[in-house]
A and B are shown apart, each in its own frame.
Chain A
């Protein structure tokens, strides 16, 4: 009785446990044993994972292709950097900075949260009309939003230092911070998916007409979800800024969008597990090819520098995965542990319900 209920509850949270435990083990092992390079790669993986999860939260549950999230990541990165840098450093890094921004100085965590908050506020201000659009128009308009954000980041000299590199940010994102944040976001994304809002959003993806018919206000549901997912992307951006410590606006443009999309699509957009698996697979593949590329260049195997091999490889993987498994490696399922197959409480929340589409 009690034990059965406990097992049932455990089963419904098992996805998170199954995903989080290996990540924590790998983090601990890396921290103990591995060299600096692996540490950096794993930290970058967690930071990307946060953005991928933010994108999954909206795109996976609403079915609308979301281009703009890397833009929100950029907003989070710039805002958190501006908040956390010391006035002295800011004066050097952004010579023309507005005086009121110059005085702004807050602790790391406050800065990161400011980044997430501002990304959410901007999403809230601009996105409502876009939420009525789906299909081609939805995809095109969010692509337009990405370009607008990039254009503003590139040209607003007095805030972002223009197209030039912004440097001098403290390196604060350690591997444990990145891992903890990624797992936190994972839990959030999972709770969102299972929440009433998430359920309504998924219903709107599965059948927009039926969802409206049962009284779901689709634009509003999409709107709230979009704000949450933009906040997560902004949060990831803040951590990215304090990991990489110097960047240009074009770090948050088409190349990064391609990276994040590849992770999400290869793993599967429909679930948290897909996002995690995709981010892991793509990171491993990318770093493998990048190592090859570097060693080719270092040893001068070819008379010219090998550039772009990594992207060619990733794009090929992405195309092949879209052809063979368009719903991703996880195919819309979550990792889940079922305590007893023969158990009498084969509740209605079996994974079969997950495989809409």
Chain B
């Protein structure tokens, strides 16, 4: 019985990681940029949960919607204010910009809210358990799995059947060609940031749902997880992100079991060692893209 409960916990974490990775991949695919500010989107959504949840009497679902919307708006704003301006410059400039945006948002939270953790009000559904076939399963896990799968299906449909989705995929394959065929670059990139913000917002609900509090630096954890997951899975497709998310969960757990007690503290170091090894020996990750090329401005 315990093994099944453990399995469901693992699947729910894997889904969450996969979703996090997906938000990072959508932007990476097009701009070839790791968005360091991605974690701060999760932080922002967390603070929206705290602010809207604590100071209004709205039902929680509306609070959650406001949080997701907040992350979307911030993601979009970072795109038009910062990333759009440096997009055509070097990749180094883009990466440093995203690092600067991340620092800016993090310290803005420090400045305007508080360096201390703020408690987030969660609906009872996050702390109840249900009994399914004699198993005690936390509702939280079921919600995480359900919402993640729904998001994955929705995004797959979007990418496969809508004009926007096709444009996004085309831009990820060959951005210059896509532009030449008449797809407006700004529109595609803005949409990618909006989608990324939406995914970050949804991730925030479940990530913060685990601890029920939010701090200015809460984004670093999810960012690093998404970062590792995308490198493992492959940075060019939806499937890669999903595989990477689950692979991350699996490898992280395995390292925990396999490492001797003395080295257990260095788990994170080992994860990043794996990242480096993958970049060296299999830079395209587990899921190879059909078409890859160097970045163009």
Contacts and interface: CB of A to CB of B under 8 A. Distances in A.
Q: Do A and B come from one complex?
A: yes
Interface of A: 59, 63-65, 129-130, 132-133, 135-137, 139-141, 143-145, 147-148, 151-152, 155, 254, 257-258, 261-262, 265, 269, 304, 306-309, 311-312, 314-316, 318-319, 322-323, 326, 357
Interface in B236-288: 265-266, 268-269, 272-273, 275-276, 279-280, 283
B223 to A, nearest CB: 11
A133 B283 contact: yes
B210 interface: no
B275 A135 contact: no
Given A311-B107, A315-B104, A322-B93, 8 more contacts: A141-B280, A144-B272, A144-B273, A148-B269, A258-B99, A265-B93, A318-B97, A322-B100
A308 B108 contact: yes
A130 B272 contact: no
Interface of B: 28, 32-34, 81-82, 85-86, 89-93, 95-97, 99-101, 103-104, 106-111, 114-115, 216, 220, 224, 227, 231, 235, 265-266, 268-269, 272-273, 275-276, 279-280, 283, 294-295
A218 B86 CA distance: 28
A314 B115 CA distance: 19
Contacts of A323: 82, 85-86
B102 to A, nearest CB: 8
A307 B269 contact: no
Contacts, number: 134
Contacts of B89: 322, 326
B104 A155 contact: no
A303 to B, nearest CB: 12
A309 B115 CA distance: 13
Given A140-B279, A141-B279, A152 B266 contact: yes
A147 B272 contact: yes
A157 to B, nearest CB: 9
Contacts of B99: 257-258, 261
Contacts of B108: 308, 312
Given A65-B95, A258-B99, A265-B96, A139 B34 contact: yes
A245 B97 CA distance: 32
Given A137-B283, A147-B269, A307 B231 contact: no
28 contacts: A63-B90, A130-B276, A135-B295, A139-B34, A139-B92, A140-B231, A141-B279, A144-B279, A147-B269, A148-B269, A151-B268, A152-B266, A155-B269, A254-B220, A262-B100, A265-B96, A269-B92, A307-B111, A308-B110, A309-B107, A311-B104, A315-B104, A318-B100, A319-B97, A319-B104, A322-B85, A322-B97, A323-B86
Contact of A315 (B103, B115, B276): B103
A269 B114 CA distance: 35
A133 B100 contact: no
Nearest to A147: B272
Contact of A145 (B92, B106, B276): B276
Contacts of B92: 59, 63-65, 139, 269
Nearest to A310: B107
Contact of B100 (A63, A141, A319, A326): A319
Contacts of B216: 308
